Amino acid sequence: MNFKIIFVPLAKSTFDELEKAAKKAFQNRQKNKNIKTSKQEGLFRQVHKTIKFLGQNPKHPSLQTHEYDSITNPYDPSQKVFEAYAQNKTPGAYRVFWCYGPNKKEITIIAITPHP
């Protein structure tokens, strides 16, 4: 069951910023001949993997998907918004907030944020 992933503009902006920071960190690591992966690279990899899993199976066990009440669904306020874990047991762990829609077989990423 594959879903098409759609981003609201703010979520796309956050995703792009994370990707840009990861690429910059990777280039610096290559330039300095460091082997250890940076935090920025690891964070982007985790967020990217979470979104990939959402597209394949939103109920994947590692996502720990559950309803989230503090955000309104952008398409239909009566429909649910969900939270998926990109990180766990990390201070400021990142979460991906999403909903189904606007069409069948589509998932919209509403926000990508660190957990307060």
Mean pLDDT by 10 residues, the chain (116 residues): 93 97 90 84 95 95 93 91 93 94 95 88
Spatial strand order in the sheet of 66-68: 4-7, 106-114, 94-100, 81-85, 66-68
User: What per-residue confidence (pLDDT) applies to 38?
Assistant: 83
- What is the maximum span of the chain, computed from C-alpha positions, in angstroms? 52
- At 91, which CATH number? 3.30.2310.20
Cβ count near 103 (within 10 Å) = 10
Number of independent structural domains in the chain: 1
Q: Which two tokens stand for residue 90?
A: 């990390």
Q: Tell me what pLDDT residue 90 has.
A: 85
Domain that holds residue 28: 4-114
Rounded Cα gap, residues 103 and 4, in angstroms:
9
